[in-house]
Amino acid sequence: MEGSQVAVVMVPFLEQSHLNSLLQLSHILASYNIPVHYASSSTLIRQVTLRNNHHPSNLSSHIHFHSFNLPPISQPDFKPDTTTNFPTHLLPLFQASAHLRLPFSQLLQQLSPQFKRIVVIHDCNMASVVQDVKAIVPNAESYSFFGISAFSLFYMFWDGLPQKPFQLDQSDIDPTRIPGDDGFIPPEVMEFVLQQFSFLGLESGRLYNTSRALEGRFMELLEKLTGNSEMKHFAIGPFNPINLKSSEPEKQRHECLEWLDKQEEHAVIYISFGSTTSVSDEQNAELAQGLERSGVKFVWVIRKADTADVFAEGGVTKAGLLPLPEGWEERMRDRGIVIREWAPQLEILGHRSIGGFMSHCGWNSCIESISMGVPIAAWPMHSEQPKNAFLVSEVLKVGIVVKDLGSLGELVMSSSIENVIKRMMASKEGDELRNRAVEMGEVVRGSVAKGGASSLELDSFVAHITR
């Protein structure tokens, strides 16, 4: 296959948690000897290049980064939204993506003469930025990337249709059982998303960070819902590395991994709510108390949501900003580790000592946990996370729910948290969840191995764009 005939241009969404998926996909495509150009704002490119330097693959030379300056962004005072936990302070950054339309078009015009074909892979929330692709570059084609589960995406689309184009099968899940978006996505954010989605349909195909081995039925429903036989759908995930042993052996390990080495198998629960969620001090205090009363060992990542510029003064959360009950950390010193900074999540989930993951159910976290065979204690915060929580608990049956999926802004008491942790980590129910998660992990890992469903679909995508 002649990789030099085609170049891929990645256009990620302007938000920290979206950077990694397309960086991981960049390395996957680079392994096919395809040059990849990763384009975004200067701040996010600075962050993603730091991540790229620590990527376990040796393909960094195939990935070229392009940074574009944005005008100064108004950064509202950081105030966690305790009703939805949505990072509404990032909305000015989302809206600033409109300024990338011109520099992105100029980049395409610069690359166009050098290659037979330019393939643009853009986050679905950047559709307006790439709207000029076909008009200005005759040898370019675009593919939208959806970073959420096929399940959540289908039912989100389905719920928004006043008239349904077809009937669901009796074996399909009743849509009335599935959490809606009201309250979990602020109206002004939904307006932005819908504006981006209005530019969809111009692309040649769609990519998904999932596997048909995991979400085959929901991929079928998405294809049917599109109603366009020319639109190609490729489920080529998970993108995250599966074989963690490929990491450089001399790389300095995080201290929590050294601590985990000393713990018993499946004895530790990992707790993290992602980079776009802020939990109130009151809720953290309840979680701390419930964790203490459970008697279970833990690794807890506790931090506020990222700001628009993590490199600006105050952009990175300082430890002192997130207090825990007085004396708690001293009492828990031998039981667990509290991390107030970046944590190597994939390596933590892949460690033999981890027996469960208390998560906000962002899709990256969900599919990483599933691919590593770790069950999920689902605590959704905002966006499509309640749908993902339903998927892992009710459909895939590799998780249990911490709080009611329809509730908003309600404090989860320490007694409920204690109960969930004990159910997951010290009960027959928890053992069954772990066994199910291990089986599901083997299925997902098999799908990305040579000859597996995702591997074959990836080969098909590469063959298509290099045709």
- Quote the tokens at residue 314: 């105050």
> Taking Cα atoms as reference points, which of 256, 280, 227, 449 lies closest to residue 354?
256
pTM attached to this predicted model: 0.91
Model pLDDT for residues 80-89, shown as the tens digit of each residue: 455 556 667 7
State how far the Cα of 29 lies from the Cα of 9, in Å rounded to an integer: 11
Model pLDDT for residues 406-431, shown as the tens digit of each residue: 676 788 999 999 999 999 999 999 99
State how far the Cα of 9 lies from the Cα of 51, in Å rounded to an integer: 18
Beta-carbon count within 10 A of 273 CB? 25
Confidence of residue 165 (pLDDT cuts 50, 70, 90): very high
Contact 444, 211 (CB under 8 A): yes
Residues forming the active site: 18, 123
Q: What are the start and end residues of each CATH 3.40.50.2000 domain in the chain?
A: 3-242+445-465, 250-444
3-242+445-465 falls under which CATH superfamily?
Answer: Glycogen Phosphorylase B; (3.40.50.2000)
Confidence of residue 315 (pLDDT cuts 50, 70, 90): very low
State how far the Cα of 129 lies from the Cα of 11, in Å rounded to an integer: 9
State how far the Cα of 317 lies from the Cα of 320, in Å rounded to an integer: 8
Model pLDDT for residues 376-405, shown as the tens digit of each residue: 999 998 889 999 999 999 999 999 999 877
459: Cα separation from own chain's centroid: 23
Phi-psi region of 274 (alpha: psi -120 to 50; beta: other; left: phi over 0): left
The predicted pLDDT at position 71 comes to 82
State how far the Cα of 441 lies from the Cα of 59, in Å rounded to an integer: 26
> Taking Cα atoms as reference points, which of 127, 122, 128 lies closest to residue 11?
122
The predicted pLDDT at position 403 comes to 85
The predicted pLDDT at position 319 comes to 38
Which strands, in side-by-side order, build the sheet including 205-208? 63-68, 36-41, 6-11, 117-123, 140-146, 205-208, 232-235
The predicted pLDDT at position 413 comes to 95
The dotted CATH code for 250-444 is: 3.40.50.2000
Give the 3-state DSSP-derived string for 420-467, with helices as H, strands as E and coil as C. Answer: HHHHHHCCHHHHHHHHHHHHHHHHHHHHHCCCCHHHHHHHHHHHHHCC
Model pLDDT for residues 41-73, shown as the tens digit of each residue: 998 899 888 877 767 676 767 899 999 998 877
Give the contacts of 200 (CB within 8 A, at least 6 positions apart). 124, 127, 144
Pairing label, strands 232-235, 6-11: unpaired
